[in-house]
Chains A and B, each alone.
Chain A
Amino acid sequence: MAVQYLAANRFGLGRRFDDPAIGNPKTWLSRHLADYDPAPAATAGLAGRATIATAYVEYREDRQAMRRTAAETPMSEEEKGMDPELRRLSRSAIHRHYVEATAARLTAAIATPTPFPERLVHFWANHFAVSADKQTVIGFVGNYENEAIRPHIMGKFSDLLIAAVKHPAMLLYLDQAQSFGPESPFATRVRNRGSRRSPGLNENLAREILELHTLGVRTGYTQADVTAFAKALTGLTVAGLGRGAGQRLMPADAEPGATVFIAPLHEPGAQTLLGRRYDAAGAAQAEAILRDLAVHPATARHIATKLARHFTADDPPGALVDRLAADFLKTGGDLASLYRALIASPEPWVAAPTMFKSPWDWTVSMLRALKISALGEKQNVAAMFTQLGQPIWRPGSPAGYDDKVATWAGSAGLMQRVELASRIAGRIGDRVDARQLAPLVLADALSPETGQAIARADSPGQGIAMLFASPTFLRR
């Protein structure tokens, strides 16, 4: 067993070069839960929602204006091969907000003295995934993790769910911001005017909350439940993004980028979901449904399974899932209690490190191990993770990144890691001795073969590359 390595890598984000000894792994992890800081310094200077929303509107207007003008500012070498649309995007403020937030995320992950909760932040951001594929969403994704996820990972699951669902990034990503009650006062008025395009319902967010965020797929809800939930959610939208039906109904004092509930867009009347009737009017209706979904037994099982998988294996042990689900139900979804149950369980500790680190996990653990900043001043963090196959906050689907060995264990991905390790080793050269670093980083999981391979490397740099590409360090 390699409990020191598992504590640092399966639960944490890899040992930092200056971390004191872990000692008792369970005590060490419990301390992280107590010391968790929901607002790490690295995220402090990032743009707020109003700035991001304004930047998006400017980008959209610029794009329209620039389409009309042929002349453009001179292009850099990198830009020359780009599609004109991508070039505009890469120069825009929304893209800058994204890039700055990715850099802050990496800085926070490298610096954190509480890597276990930091991993949980990444876990929950991926569970409630938004994806920067949509131009409206790009600027908001960092803010989403910092303001909707971070403050709620130690509280109740229901509060985390509601914060995630109501954040503009989620409302925009899953089309809620443009979903209107078919019988709402607003839609009725448009219809009565004889307009050809009547504003209508979009089921996307309702479906994904049921399928991905709470109950889980194939847990017995029906199409009618999805539609009823979608109707209950109508009225929730985002202020200050201009255009689109219903913008004139925005409250005058709403800050751009703020989540607002607009009653005339809401579908009137009671909704029935999973056999229960919800009579509440307005925004309270969706909130009541979300609170019920958050403590549903299927949700407990779904969350327990995903969490157990993240800390054990592709097919998590049934006993662990049962224990976590029972804890979730007993506490009404108290997340800190769930994490304590996880630490106390035997299952995450029994096996050798068998989970394959994601590109994010692997890169973060490598950078934590090095006392010298291994990335150049101008390193574009977002581009680096895109290259490694795991673009930050851009999983491409509301399901987030899959969490299995086969997801990340690909031949091209492996070669890219070796190439990155090799490049970083080249920058570090002989300023770090891999023979001394290996026992610290691999701890009780250091195998004689890896130790020997590192010792026999033909250069200090090659030794560092071998350490980070070693079979153990690729896993957690």
Chain B
Amino acid sequence: MILSRRSIILSGITFAAAGTLPGFVYAAAATPRRLVFIIQRGAADGLATVAPTGDPAFAAARRTLADETARGAKLDTMFTLHPALATTAGLYSCQQAHFAQAVATAYRDRSHFDGQNMLEGGGSRPYGRSDGWVGRLLTLLPTAERDAIAIAPAVPLALRGPVQVGTYAASRLPQADGDLIARLSVLYAEDPLLHPLWDSAVRTQELAGDIGGNNGRNGADLGKLAASLMLPADGARVMMVETGGWDTHSGQRGRLNAQLRGLDQLIGALQSGLGPAWNDTLVIVATEFGRTVEVNGTGGTDHGTASTAMLLGGNLALGGKVSADWPGLTPAGRLDGRDLRPTRSLESVIAAAVAHHYALDPKRVMTTLYPDD
């Protein structure tokens, strides 16, 4: 290997320094803080995840989907957690989980692709930005805490920005030999696209080490993989994990149960994999929009508006609570008569959690993550 791991990491920082470096007015924490953003692609049903069982209109609107909530953990007098989220319920009982209900981005139409673009980009309209809120957050973080990676074949929009970001997808192919890697480093040196990608690939391959055979088939594997990439002293500090399969137009009951069980195991494996570092970790789980209040003709739900965001970790401002300015599920309380009405912006929920986690000025976080608002 021509380039040592350290020198490649440094070259990444040099790249970042070409953008604007923030002034370090906030002192670095004793142990580095970690952030995980789990995106639920496909519009996860917040009304099934954190069910408003205390709303008198809930059972009638949800019909066959309503009774499964009976086995779930009671969060307070209004809300019940989906029964598949057992580990998460345990975190909630020790103030390590928070649910923000009836939240949405500024997006009000119902296209997955526009909605995800808004959720990740943090702009005020779809395709308004070519960088993402996590990517911009990195510019506010101390050098030691801005090493970011996505478990994905390419960098998702949320992580794009002035700071170079790595990607990791488990590989079952045999590794290329060191000499070929070194020669390609020379061949890619002058290529503005390939050079940073290759640096990042080489570095990640070294870090991933023995978990290369684990292809993250289920939530637990993915959580283990994420923790293993974040635990080492020179590992990633910021991580994005992609999850899909939330678009439950039909047969929602079984499908959502499997999805949430996978998410629950992902969170559990992340917590146990990070060990003591979990206390300085914030996990944000969010989706592009919610689903209709009423069940459709195929036992599913269609594209809606407001949904639920989850915050997890050892140092939450409002652990063990559900926050909601509850709009009610009666047709009059709904948006367009069909969707859960958003009463708070998802952007403000994310910005507040991030500001608290990194002890950053909340205003500065808001204007950096969501500059158009």
11 further contact pairs, Cβ within 8 A, besides A175-B298, A409-B154, A412-B152: A218-B111, A218-B114, A387-B172, A409-B194, A411-B199, A412-B153, A415-B201, A416-B171, A416-B173, A453-B187, A458-B179
**In the docked arrangement, what's the CA distance between A133 and B259, Å?**
14
The residue of chain B having its C-beta at the shortest distance from the C-beta of A454 within the complex is B187
From residue A203, how far is it (CB to closest CB) to chain B in Å? 6
Please indicate which of the listed interface residues B110, B180, B205 has the most CB atoms of chain A within 10 Å of its own CB. Answer: B180
In the complex, identify which listed stretch (A9-17, A335-343, A417-425) lies at the interface while the others stay far away. Answer: A417-425
The residue of chain A having its C-beta at the shortest distance from the C-beta of B195 within the complex is A471
Residues 289-329 of B, flagged 1 when their CB comes within 8 A of A and 0 if not, give 00000001111101100000000000000000000000000
Known: A218-B109, A356-B193, A471-B194. A423 touches B298 (CB 8 A): no
Interface membership of B168, Cβ < 8 A: yes
Inside 8 A of B174's CB, which chain A residues have their CB?
A: 419, 422-423
Interface membership of B191, Cβ < 8 A: yes
Show 11 residue pairs from A and B whose CB-CB distance is below 8 angstroms, ordered by the A residue.
A200-B296, A200-B297, A202-B250, A203-B302, A204-B302, A223-B336, A356-B193, A408-B154, A409-B193, A410-B167, A416-B153
Across the interface, do A217 and B114 meet the contact criterion of CB distance under 8 Å? yes
Inside 8 A of B109's CB, which chain A residues have their CB?
A: 218
From residue A262, how far is it (CB to closest CB) to chain B in Å? 15
Inside 8 A of A411's CB, which chain B residues have their CB?
A: 166-168, 197-201, 204
Interface membership of B61, Cβ < 8 A: no
Name the one of B155, B179, B198, B300 contacting A406, with C-beta atoms under 8 angstroms: B155
Chain A-chain B contacts (Cβ-Cβ < 8 Å), number: 163
Interface membership of B210, Cβ < 8 A: no
In the complex, identify which listed stretch (A24-32, A289-297, A461-469) lies at the interface while the others stay far away. Answer: A461-469
Across the interface, do A410 and B245 meet the contact criterion of CB distance under 8 Å? no
Interface membership of A40, Cβ < 8 A: no
From residue B41, how far is it (CB to closest CB) to chain A in Å? 8
From residue B321, how far is it (CB to closest CB) to chain A in Å? 34
B-contacting residues, A428-476, CB 8 Å = 449-450, 453, 457-458, 462, 465-466, 469-471, 474
Residues 167-196 of A, flagged 1 when their CB comes within 8 A of B and 0 if not, give 000000001001110100000000000001
Interface membership of B129, Cβ < 8 A: no
Interface membership of B177, Cβ < 8 A: yes
Residues 139-175 of A, flagged 1 when their CB comes within 8 A of B and 0 if not, give 0000000000000000000000000000000000001
Inside 8 A of A399's CB, which chain B residues have their CB?
A: 112-113
Across the interface, do A466 and B297 meet the contact criterion of CB distance under 8 Å? no
Name the one of B199, B204, B297 contacting A202, with C-beta atoms under 8 angstroms: B297
Known: A412-B204, A453-B187, A471-B194. A465 touches B176 (CB 8 A): yes
From residue B178, how far is it (CB to closest CB) to chain A in Å? 11
Known: A200-B296, A406-B154, A422-B177. A83 touches B218 (CB 8 A): yes
Inside 8 A of B166's CB, which chain A residues have their CB?
A: 411
Across the interface, do A387 and B113 meet the contact criterion of CB distance under 8 Å? no
The residue of chain B having its C-beta at the shortest distance from the C-beta of A418 within the complex is B176
Interface membership of A322, Cβ < 8 A: no
A residues within 8 Å of B by Cβ?
81-83, 86, 133, 175, 178-180, 182, 196-204, 207, 211, 217-218, 223, 356, 387, 389, 396-397, 399, 405-416, 418-420, 422-423, 449-450, 453, 457-458, 462, 465-466, 469-471, 474
Known: A202-B250, A396-B244. A196 touches B154 (CB 8 A): no
Please indicate which of the listed interface residues A82, A86, A409, A449 has the most CB atoms of chain B within 10 Å of its own CB. Answer: A409
Name the one of A207, A218, A419 contacting B176, with C-beta atoms under 8 angstroms: A419
Residues 98-112 of B, flagged 1 when their CB comes within 8 A of A and 0 if not, give 000000000001111
Across the interface, do B245 and A419 meet the contact criterion of CB distance under 8 Å? no
Across the interface, do A415 and B298 meet the contact criterion of CB distance under 8 Å? no
Inside 8 A of B176's CB, which chain A residues have their CB?
A: 415, 418-419, 422, 465
Inside 8 A of B180's CB, which chain A residues have their CB?
A: 418, 422, 462, 465-466
Chain B contact surface mostly? loop
Interface size class of B (residues with CB under 8 A): 35 or more
Inside 8 A of A211's CB, which chain B residues have their CB?
A: 111
Across the interface, do B201 and A412 meet the contact criterion of CB distance under 8 Å? yes
Across the interface, do B297 and A201 meet the contact criterion of CB distance under 8 Å? yes
Known: A202-B298, A387-B173, A412-B169. A405 touches B63 (CB 8 A): no
Known: A412-B168, A466-B183. A474 touches B153 (CB 8 A): no
**In the docked arrangement, what's the CA distance between A462 and B42, Å?**
42
Across the interface, do A175 and B249 meet the contact criterion of CB distance under 8 Å? yes
Interface membership of B6, Cβ < 8 A: no
The residue of chain B having its C-beta at the shortest distance from the C-beta of A420 within the complex is B173
Name the one of A175, A396, A409, A457 contacting B197, with C-beta atoms under 8 angstroms: A409
Across the interface, do A418 and B193 meet the contact criterion of CB distance under 8 Å? no
Name the one of B114, B172, B297 contacting A179, with C-beta atoms under 8 angstroms: B297
Inside 8 A of B169's CB, which chain A residues have their CB?
A: 389, 410, 412-413, 416
**In the docked arrangement, what's the CA distance between A191 and B14, Å?**
68
Name the one of A180, A396, A457 contacting B183, with C-beta atoms under 8 angstroms: A457
Across the interface, do B153 and A217 meet the contact criterion of CB distance under 8 Å? no
Residues 151-191 of B, flagged 1 when their CB comes within 8 A of A and 0 if not, give 01111000010000011110111111101110110111011
Across the interface, do B296 and A201 meet the contact criterion of CB distance under 8 Å? yes
Across the interface, do B181 and A410 meet the contact criterion of CB distance under 8 Å? no
Inside 8 A of A419's CB, which chain B residues have their CB?
A: 171, 173-176
**In the docked arrangement, what's the CA distance between A422 and B175, Å?**
8
Interface membership of B64, Cβ < 8 A: yes
Name the one of A175, A389, A465 contacting B153, with C-beta atoms under 8 angstroms: A389
Inside 8 A of B200's CB, which chain A residues have their CB?
A: 411
From residue B198, how far is it (CB to closest CB) to chain A in Å? 6
Across the interface, do A200 and B187 meet the contact criterion of CB distance under 8 Å? no
From residue A363, how far is it (CB to closest CB) to chain B in Å? 12
Across the interface, do A410 and B154 meet the contact criterion of CB distance under 8 Å? yes
Known: A200-B297, A202-B296, A466-B184. A407 touches B154 (CB 8 A): yes
Across the interface, do B186 and A410 meet the contact criterion of CB distance under 8 Å? no
Inside 8 A of A414's CB, which chain B residues have their CB?
A: 194, 197-198, 201
From residue A178, how far is it (CB to closest CB) to chain B in Å? 5
**In the docked arrangement, what's the CA distance between A202 and B303, Å?**
11
**In the docked arrangement, what's the CA distance between A179 and B168, Å?**
40
The residue of chain A having its C-beta at the shortest distance from the C-beta of B164 within the complex is A411
